[in-house]
Amino acid sequence: MLVQIISHTPLWVWALLAFLIYRGILASVDRELTLKKLSIIPLVMLALSWQGVSTVFGVTPPPMLCWLLAATVAASLNWRLFRKDRVIAYPERGVVFQRGSWLPLILMMGIFLTKYTVGVTLAIHPALAHDGAFTAVVCTLYGVFNGMFIGRLLRVVSLYHSAQQAQPAPGAYNGQLKG
């Protein structure tokens, strides 16, 4: 059965998996990024999640509320637990220095495996798409993974903007006299 599942998986799924693994390994290394680059993976994961929820369960209140509640709780927790010493903002250069972490890879694999598992499960048992408990579990998983990405991204953006506001304006008097 496993061979059948793997052989019926479209090639683009394996390409996506390779891309996510590559990006996850990249995130494990200390590096400087612009906020734009930092937001790419969270937004891609958000799109994959929403696509997974909406195509399987529809854009109806129960799955959307389940996802939203889980995402809100996870984002709030990640915001509070985020270690500020993992990021240094350099607004003058338009970048943030970010310590490497394996967490993004874990979250990406969580979303990917959830999406893959749901696809395989529904191919074998299509009636589960209408099961409330199945819907709640899947939407909660997607919400938790995305909420962690969103909370982290919002925290980094907040730290960046705080550093930006702390900078003196160009040409501002700093209390020192030249001469």
Name residue, tokens 């990006």. Answer: 23
Give the residue, 176 or 19, on which the prediction is more confident.
19
Give 3-state DSSP helix, strand, coil % of the chain, rounded to 5: 75, 5, 20
Q: Are 86 and 99 in contact (CB under 8 A)?
A: yes
User: What is the biggest distance separating any 2 CA atoms in the chain, rounded to whole angstroms?
Assistant: 81
pLDDT over 70, % of the chain: 93
The pTM for the full model equals 0.83
In the chain, where do the E strands start and end?
31-33, 87-90, 95-98
Q: What is the pLDDT of residues 30-75, one digit of tens each?
A: 999 999 999 998 998 899 888 889 999 989 999 999 999 999 999 9
CA 147, CA 104: separation in Å to the nearest integer? 12
Q: How confident is the model at residue 173 (pLDDT cuts 50, 70, 90)?
A: low
Q: How many CB atoms lie within 10 A of CB 13?
A: 14
**For position 4, what pLDDT does the model report?**
82
- Helix count and strand count (H, E) for the chain: 6, 3
Contacts of 122 (CB under 8 A, 6+ apart): 56, 128, 129
